[in-house]
Amino acid sequence: MALSTAAQSYLEGYEAFAALGAEPPQLVELRSHARERFEALGFPSVLEEEWRFTNVAPLARSGLENLVEAGSVNAAQVDALSYDGCDRLVFVDGRVAPEHCTVERLPDGAFVGSLRQALSECPDLVLEHLGRHAPTQDRAFSALNTALFVDGAAILAPKGSIFERPIHLLFIASESAEGHAFYPRNLVVAGEASQLTIVESYAGLCNQYFNCVVSEFVGEQSSHVDHYRLQRESRASFHIATVQTWLDRSAVFSSYNLALGGRLVRVDTGAMLDGEGIECTLNGLYIASDDQLIDNHMRVEHKKPHCNSHELYKGILDGRARAVFNGRIFVHQGAQKTDAKQTNRNLLLSREALVNSNPQLEIFADDVRCTHGSTVGQLDEEAVFYLRSRGIEEEAARSLLTYAFANEVAEGIRLPEVRQEVEEFLFNRLAAGEIVRQAV
């Protein structure tokens, strides 16, 4: 099937979609524009610079259909994917599952719930931000999500609110999602001087599906947001996401993008630093094996002076896995005293694994400190020998060094439950994981 025809088939649901109920005119317009954009753009081809190394033909060919009705999951399945100490919103196949949501102790005036509910309870605030940050003009999948999303999470933190407990947004692809596509849509608005921690996690209980996500984050003046994105989709799944953040003066935003699953994964992470004195940290870890492809595209824009952005992305690839890292830091004219640092390091554990790493700087201000670096390499044989000469078995030495490579990112994760999940993943994945577990 040609890409354009395949793309068209996804819009078939669009008409049926209108039957979901009346939506505010702004949203109708937003969707209609997004739909037009997707129709015009179609699925991206590898001839496009932004998609050079990621061929979405397998997705186009897969014949997935839009999911009309969400499946269900049971309490045990939810519990297995939950974290202690977090408030939890559960979404099954992109729709909220109220019976599994547990939210307690919210600050006064805060909203934590489904986007659909937020649209009816506080439409003005939602519509002020929804679709205003994630670009759809030239982004096919962001446009597709905007045209077709049914629901997702909305977190609206009023001015000065402090969230004592992290909020876990748990997205599960149920067994009913097999062979289907769905489009979770999330909006987080951290009001002035608010503080909150958000975990977005994705998991699948079936094999092949397409999870097309857009998450928009707004950090108003002096807000503090800790964000974790833990992607552990099924190994035959497609996961294509846009995570777009807009930050105002003195906002602090820290995000960890942890990609451990999926067959074809693409995440476009963008941050717009639109006020002075912003601190933005975007770290990532991707671990892939077999024939997984994990593509991270980053775009950090410094629009105002005195902002810091730091990005550390590390990848571990085994088997025939492939990864793409494309990082762009864009410093606008007048964004003096920008301090931007971007680092991408890749560890290849097999001969067939491949990485395309492309860090880029575009600087239009003259008093800035911007650095970027990218490495692709194997384990340091000197280090392996050093460990072996102290009595550590070769396999254990390699596992320990691989763990250490990942841990540079993982150790920065402040939420213990998330850090432990990443560590567990590593212990299970590494050949001598048990020895590493004992050692660390």
Partner 1 sequence: MSILEIKDLHARVEGQEILKGVNLRVGAGEIHAIMGPNGSGKSTLAQVLAGKAEYEVTAGEILYKGEDLLELSPEERAQAGIFMAFQYPVEIPGVSNTYFLKAALNAIRKARGESDLDAVDFLKLVRERVELVQLDESLMSRPVNEGFSGGEKKRNEIFHMAVLEPTLAILDETDSGLDIDALRVVADGVNSMLRDDRAFVVITHYQRLLDYIIPDHVHVLVHGRIVRSGTKELALELEEKGYSWVEEEAATGEAVSA
Q: Is 404 in the site for partner 1 (CB under 8 A)?
A: yes
Residue 16, judged by CB atoms within 10 A of its CB (0-12, 13-18, 19+), counts as: exposed
Q: CA separation (Å) from 31 to 23, 27, 68, 213, 248?
A: 10, 6, 18, 15, 26
Residue 347, judged by CB atoms within 10 A of its CB (0-12, 13-18, 19+), counts as: buried
- Nearer to partner 1 by C-beta: 49 or 381? 381
Looking at 56-64, 200-208, 348-356, 405-413, which segment touches partner 1 (CB under 8 A)?
Answer: 405-413
Whose tokens are 């993943």? That residue is 425
Q: Is 383 in the site for partner 1 (CB under 8 A)?
A: yes
- Nearer to partner 1 by C-beta: 296 or 407? 407
- Nearer to partner 1 by C-beta: 127 or 426? 426
Cβ 438 to partner 1 shortest distance, Å? 7
Q: Is 434 in the site for partner 1 (CB under 8 A)?
A: no
Q: Is 431 in the site for partner 1 (CB under 8 A)?
A: no
What's the rounded Cα separation, in Å, for the pair 321 and 267?
Answer: 16
The residue from 293, 400, 418, 430 that contacts partner 1 (CB under 8 A) is: 400
Nearest 5°: phi and psi at 131? 75, 5
Q: Is 394 in the site for partner 1 (CB under 8 A)?
A: yes
The residue from 178, 348, 407, 433 that contacts partner 1 (CB under 8 A) is: 407
Q: Is 403 in the site for partner 1 (CB under 8 A)?
A: yes
What's the rounded Cα separation, in Å, for the pair 308 and 229?
Answer: 21
- Nearer to partner 1 by C-beta: 392 or 415? 392
Ramachandran category for residue 264: left, alpha or beta (phi over 0 → left; psi -120 to 50 → alpha) = beta
Q: Is 392 in the site for partner 1 (CB under 8 A)?
A: yes
Helix (H, G, I), strand (E, B) or coil at 51: helix
Q: Is 439 in the site for partner 1 (CB under 8 A)?
A: yes
Nearest 5°: phi and psi at 368? -140, 160
Q: Which of residues 62-81 bind partner 1 (CB under 8 A)?
A: none
Looking at 1-9, 115-123, 297-305, 385-393, which segment touches partner 1 (CB under 8 A)?
Answer: 385-393
- Nearer to partner 1 by C-beta: 171 or 405? 405
Q: Is 387 in the site for partner 1 (CB under 8 A)?
A: yes
Which residue type sits at 32? S
Q: Which residues contact 80 (CB under 8 A, 6 or more apart)?
A: none
What's the rounded Cα separation, in Å, for the pair 55 and 237?
Answer: 14
The residue from 18, 28, 68, 440 that contacts partner 1 (CB under 8 A) is: 440
Q: Is 405 in the site for partner 1 (CB under 8 A)?
A: yes
Count, residues near partner 1 per rule CB under 8 A: 27
What's the rounded Cα separation, in Å, for the pair 311 and 298?
Answer: 9
**How many helices and strands (H and E) does the chain possess?**
12, 21
- Nearer to partner 1 by C-beta: 242 or 407? 407
Question: How many residues in total does the chain contain?
Answer: 440
**Binding site residues, partner 1, CB under 8 A:** 380, 382-383, 385-394, 396-397, 400-401, 403-405, 407-408, 435-436, 438-440
